[in-house]
A and B are shown apart, each in its own frame.
Chain A
Amino acid sequence: MDIIILLYETIVSTLVSMGKIALILVPVLIMIELARHFKIIELLTGKIKGLLKFISLPEEAALPLFAGIFFGIVLGSALIIEYSREGFLQKRDLLLIGIFLSISHSVIEDTFLFSVFGANPVIMITTRTILAVIITRGAAYIFDHFSNKKVA
């Protein structure tokens, strides 16, 4: 009997917290879809050259990178896979995008979701972005250094 009551209480409290999640998640997902539809990312790419330069990526990398950051790896995967097939980017750049996205992706959705439970959104986004930038920069350094040695 205990178990049934326990399960019942769990389901009720889960539904309540899911209601809270839905209230936040649905508008966010709609906004993300709208942003995708109106190609907001394409408009933004011109303005983030500084960051791209710092992690030593060419401008063409902006689209898959930012699609991943804002929409998430699964939603952005279409773009990521397309870019990897079409050969717009060099292998090195593609790999760096992969590393950056591994650490920092779908920041909007994740952040909203966890803030429902009381997480601090500013700290979440800052930590992930800073770590992603540092690690990608480091990987770029190692990668260039290593491949130069191999050539020479």
Chain B
Amino acid sequence: MLLLIKIIIPVSCLVALLDYFGIVALVAEHFAPVMKLFGLPGEATISLLLGFFINIYAAMGAIPALTLSPRQITILAVMIGICHELPVETVICSYTGLRIPFSVVLRLITAFSAGILLNLFYGMVLGG
């Protein structure tokens, strides 16, 4: 739990500062076309990147700063769930003989396709 506090509070402060100085908006603008494939706003890029490189808790530190619908949170959650904490987990997985670059690419591709598929699925079911 202490570990959680050590990660989440600095991360959420960092995100708030990045937001304050307009960096979030800048990143969001660049990635907005990609994120649109997943039905997510550009701002969610921050949470996704934090999840990829640090871990799930860091990604969550960035979520309260975003305003997301339940649909968007579910999509984001699945994508981060598949692809997170790459620096640590790919090393552990490499013990099974799964090479690290392969494992990174596999998880990124799966996460992105899951995002696209879920977005399509939601679009079909809810018609939106």
Chain B interface residue number, banded: 35 or more
B26 at the interface (CB under 8 A from A): no
Q: A26-B1, A95-B96, A95-B97 are in contact. Are A118 and B78 (CB under 8 A)?
A: no
A1 at the interface (CB under 8 A from B): no
Q: CB distance B97 to A91 under 8 Å?
A: yes
On chain A, the residues within 8 Å of B74 by CB distance are 114, 119-120, 123-124
On chain A, the residues within 8 Å of B12 by CB distance are 10-11, 13-14
B61 at the interface (CB under 8 A from A): yes
On chain B, the residues within 8 Å of A105 by CB distance are 89
On chain B, the residues within 8 Å of A120 by CB distance are 70, 74
Q: For the complex, give the distance between the alpha carbons of A21 and B8 in Å.
A: 11
A interface: dominant SS: helix
Selected contact of A102 from candidates B13, B70, B93, CB within 8 Å: B93
Q: CB distance A128 to B82 under 8 Å?
A: yes
Q: For the complex, give the distance between the alpha carbons of A107 and B107 in Å.
A: 15
On chain A, the residues within 8 Å of B98 by CB distance are 95, 98-99, 102
Q: CB distance A103 to B82 under 8 Å?
A: yes
Count A/B pairs, Cβ under 8 Å.
138
Q: CB distance A114 to B81 under 8 Å?
A: yes
Q: A6-B20, A103-B107, A110-B56 are in contact. Are A17 and B77 (CB under 8 A)?
A: no
Q: Name the residue of chain B whose CB is nearest to the CB of A99.
A: B98
Q: CB distance B77 to A98 under 8 Å?
A: no
Selected contact of A80 from candidates B61, B70, B76, B96, CB within 8 Å: B96
- The size of the chain A interface, using a CB distance under 8 A, is 47
Mark B residues whose CB is within 8 Å of A: 1, 4-5, 8-9, 12-13, 15-17, 20, 56, 60-61, 63-65, 68, 70, 73-74, 76-78, 80-82, 85, 88-90, 92-98, 103, 106-107, 110, 113-114, 117-118
Q: List 26 A-B contacts (CB under 8 A).
A: A3-B20, A6-B16, A7-B16, A10-B16, A13-B64, A14-B12, A14-B61, A21-B4, A77-B92, A81-B95, A84-B96, A84-B97, A98-B95, A98-B97, A102-B107, A103-B107, A105-B89, A114-B74, A114-B81, A117-B68, A119-B70, A119-B74, A120-B74, A124-B78, A127-B78, A128-B78
